[in-house]
Amino acid sequence: MARFGYVEQALAALPALAQAGGRAATKIPSRSDVEREMAQLSKIGGRFIFVDTPEYPEFLADMADAPPVLAVLGDVALLSTRCVGVVGARNASANGMRMAEALAADLAEQKLTVVSGLARGIDAAAHKGAMSTGRTIAAIAGGIDIPYPPENEKLQALIAENGCVVAEAP
């Protein structure tokens, strides 16, 4: 803000700054686009949390490239708990899946929130294990209303009910 003075001027400069940095021009959504996304997320029981709000995870806000907004389904308070990531191969062995599930269950039993990406394989096993004794957060790459992979649709719904699903994309 010190450089541009006003929010409008800072936003107007984004496309040129992105191109100067070798990135594609940033598209700033219109107010009606934002309101539509907020209404759609609210309709499925979710909400947005913003980087400058108390419920935004402190460890994430401290990162230089923290996403300015997160789409969330489920228990937002989990984002402020002690977390541990459990991730691995999508095409994991049965032994690897059992190990991931047991490890996540043990971690959750110790009051740690297990975070994974909801991918098939190790990620899904970790979520299942964590939910058996505690809590889990699914940090997903796509839209929060589009289950991916499709075979984890029920698991994503269970996590939204008993844990938290979070995404940068609405």
CATH of the domain at 117: 3.40.50.450
Closest CA to 71 of 89, 94, 55, 88: 55
83 Ramachandran zone, left/alpha/beta (phi>0; psi -120 to 50): beta
Name the stretches of the chain with pLDDT < 70. Answer: 1-4, 6-7, 25-26
Helices (H), the chain: 7-20, 31-43, 58-61, 94-109, 122-133, 153-162
Residue 102, exposed/middle/buried by CB under 10 A (0-12, 13-18, 19+)? middle
Name the pTM for this structure. 0.83
> Do the strands 113-116 and 136-140 form a parallel or antiparallel pair, or are they unpaired?
parallel
Quick check: is 157 in a domain?
yes
Residue 77's domain spans which residues? 44-167
State residue 25's pLDDT score: 66
State residue 16's pLDDT score: 75
Indicate the number of domains in the chain.
1
Quick check: is 53 in a domain?
yes
Quick check: is 158 in a domain?
yes
Residue linked to tokens 């698991």: 155
Quick check: is 79 in a domain?
yes
Coil, helix or strand at residue 38: helix
Quick check: is 156 in a domain?
yes
